[in-house]
Structure 1
């Protein structure tokens, strides 16, 4: 595992909480071998760890818990779910949680007071479920297929990183490497994941065009305040052409767009930088998604305990309203008219400053 020059290690695992079945598995043993000095604590369920999820005092150590703790579990539900925005389908997760600490991340909403990485060790069962699902679909562009859509012109796209950041997960286990290898050999399908972490070990894999990496970007002022423990915006932009040369498809993820003073000029500057720095080859295959901030009252309360400055820009009741998601959860988003105008303005910014960039969707 390559180290990050000049940075404190993203992972300093001191305690591994493990379900017995996960601990006994081959993948679980491989993870233990990566962190030989860690204390191993057996748990009944990766969802219920009182010392982590139920301990309110962990909020003050939100980021340190992410670095020092790791969880091993077995993924029980192997359902492939339909999506339709950045991917046609959501693959069963091979991990949940993250070692990074983005202040707006939705994943902690179900975890309580701590959200370290949970690695699911039954990767073989997960891979088989994905391969069976791909086989059932048939060609996307065949006589009986639906044809091109905003996800992809020819392949079925499977999001493999809904609840984690795969670039970070790859520093913990070989789950991501296994999925990249799987999609390299599956005809008519590709994996996709968004990331805020540049893991150059992934350049040593052989994706053969079967994996789409979506580098998440935002203006530097936003990233410095909100993207805690992530790779810098400069690193992420600098990785685009390298990942393309290694055989990945590389798209961009503008998320979240936070509406605050100077947001338009700062996004324009970022788009100008992309136009200047990316190669013609990168621009020719690139597309992006634009996602305005969605927040959550529970996460707001957690953030007040460890990073209250973030809430100065994330929590704006005068411009936000409550909303019920498709999964039944309650969130806070920008008011309909505020959001409508902002999306229209963002499309104008892209058209002016990065006309080469296709917007797959914006909301």
Structure 2
């Protein structure tokens, strides 16, 4: 039985959509097989006037990825282009930080334009969102994987009870949910798995998710940073105050809600701005939200290739992100060549932020910080 058999389709959306200001699709690239899937046909029906461009692969689109001239059109492409693909590889990557496993993604790329995002490092000079339409196969692979794992018998820093799957590692699920029902299907899937939960970080408040009935089996991590820097770095996202204001509602709707302080960017006065941010959160949260709260802290990791692309469309961001005098080379957990704050300095910075957080929000445990 497929997920689409288990769950009745939601009613058609009414009123303005959460992505209306961000995405007006005029061109859709689609690889072979997309229209054979119900989800593919549903998405195409949402954009009947968009030009349809058949391509051999969602990963290799001539004139889009790898075209250096597209860097200057970064946001225009994000706001007008959609890619539809069929997920081929159903791999599960162990993680141990934000989740236990990264499952096969239902999307990659994003309609938003955070200057530090790592996904564009793999795409080149354009990063529109790609949605995978074979959702039934992805859901089935997660179900099989969780069944083989059996109960989680030993608590870890990810979660004491459930195997956690990060369903938004390569995209923002709150935005993806406005494009298709993939996220809804994933949230509902985890309510049927006794030993597993879903999790994703987001920078977009999509209140349509409040109707998904997650039953405590999906963890949303709202990403936060001081608004003065979010205006520069979190391009095309929900304001920080809006994200904070949504936390209580998502907790009340049955989500577990954590905070994702990521990336923490160091600049003159960063301590005072984070102190004010923590106080802002504390002033808003309900007792119920505070009782279940936890956070993850990730200091900035950057990349030379992304730095070069960003210089073409958002050089002001790079003045804050690219600081060779405080950074050193680093091989990431995934094997990538990146840069991070220097050893020794970074340890002091992490300790300083954790002290600020403990003073303003002593109830907020830190699941991990690096």
Same fold (TM over 0.5): yes
Superposed displacement of residue 4, structure 1: 6.4
Distance 1:76 1:229 in 2: 30
Residue 236 of structure 1: aligned partner: 243
- Displacement of 1:356 in angstroms is 1.0
Runs of 5+ consecutive residues of structure 2 not aligned to the other structure: 1-12
Contact 1:271 1:353 (8 Å CA) reproduced? yes
Change (3 A) 1:75 1:8: closer
Structure 1 residues 93, 8: CA separation in 2 closer, same or farther (over 3 Å shift)?
Answer: closer
Contact map agreement 2:28 2:50 (CA 8 A) in 1: yes
Q: How big is the shift at 1:23?
A: 2.9
| CA shift for structure 1 position 111 | 0.4
Of the three residues 99, 121, 133, the one matched with 1:109 is 121
Q: In the alignment, which residue of structure 2 is the partner of 1:84?
A: 96
Shift of the alpha carbon at 1:323?
1.0
Residue 3 of structure 1 aligns with which residue? Answer: 16
Partner of 1:311: 318
CA shift, 1:25, in A, is: 1.5
Q: 2:56 aligns with which of 44, 51, 55?
A: 44
State whether residues 156 and 189 of structure 1, in contact with CA within 8 Å, keep that contact through their aligned partners in structure 2.
yes
Match of 2:268 among 261, 273, 284: 261
2:36 pairs with 24, 43, 56, which one?
24
**CA distance in structure 2 between the aligned counterparts of 1:281 and 1:293, rounded to whole angstroms:** 31
With 295-304 and 324-333 compared, the bigger mean Cα shift is at 324-333
Q: Which of 195, 208, 215 is the equivalent residue of 2:222?
A: 215
Residue 131 of structure 2 is aligned to residue 119 of structure 1: yes
Question: SS of 1:51's equivalent?
Answer: coil
Equivalent pair of 2:297/2:368 in contact (CA under 8 Å): yes
Q: Is the 8 A contact 1:70 1:117 kept in 2?
A: yes
Aligned to 1:171: 178
CA deviation map 1:66-96 (0-9, x unaligned): 1100000111110111110011111110001
2:147 corresponding residue in structure 1: 135
1:24 CA drift (Å): 2.7
Looking at structure 1, the residues matched to 165 and 333 of structure 2 have their Cα atoms a distance apart, in angstroms, of 19
**Contact 1:3-1:9 within 8 A present in 2 as well:** no
CA distance in 2, matches of 1:8, 1:343: 38
The normalised TM-score by structure 1 is 0.96
The 1-side partners of 2:346 and 2:339 are apart by 12
Q: Which runs of 4+ in 1 moved over 2 A?
A: 1-5
Partners of 1:34 and 1:341 in 2: how far apart? Answer: 50
Of 204, 226, 230, 2:233 maps to 226
Shift of 1:51: 1.6
* Cα gap change, 1:201 to 1:8, in 2 (>3 Å): closer
Three-state SS of the structure 2 residue aligned to 1:78 is coil
1:297 aligns with 2:304: yes
Contact 1:158 1:189 in 2 (8 A): yes
Structure 1 position 326, deviation (Å): 2.8
Distance 1:212 1:328 in 2: 27
Q: Which residue of 1 aligns with 2:365?
A: 358
Q: After superposition, give the CA deviation of every residue in 1:202-225 in whole Å (9 maximum; x if it has no partner).
A: 111111111101000000111011
| Correspondent of 1:95 among 79, 90, 107 | 107
CA apart distance, 1:328: 2.0
Q: Offset at 1:8?
A: 6.2
1:54 Cα deviation from its structure 2 partner:
2.5
Q: Deviations over 1:296-341 (max 9, x none)?
A: 0010001000000000110000000111123221001000111100
Alignment partner of 2:355: what SS? helix
**Aligned match of 1:190:** 197
Secondary structure at the counterpart of residue 63 of structure 2: helix
Q: Equivalents in 2 of 1:62, 1:32: separation in Å?
A: 23
TM-score under structure 2 normalisation? 0.95
Give distance in 2, aligned partners of 1:36 and 1:235.
Answer: 32
Whether the aligned pair in 2 keeps the contact of 1:23 and 1:72 (CA below 8 Å) is no
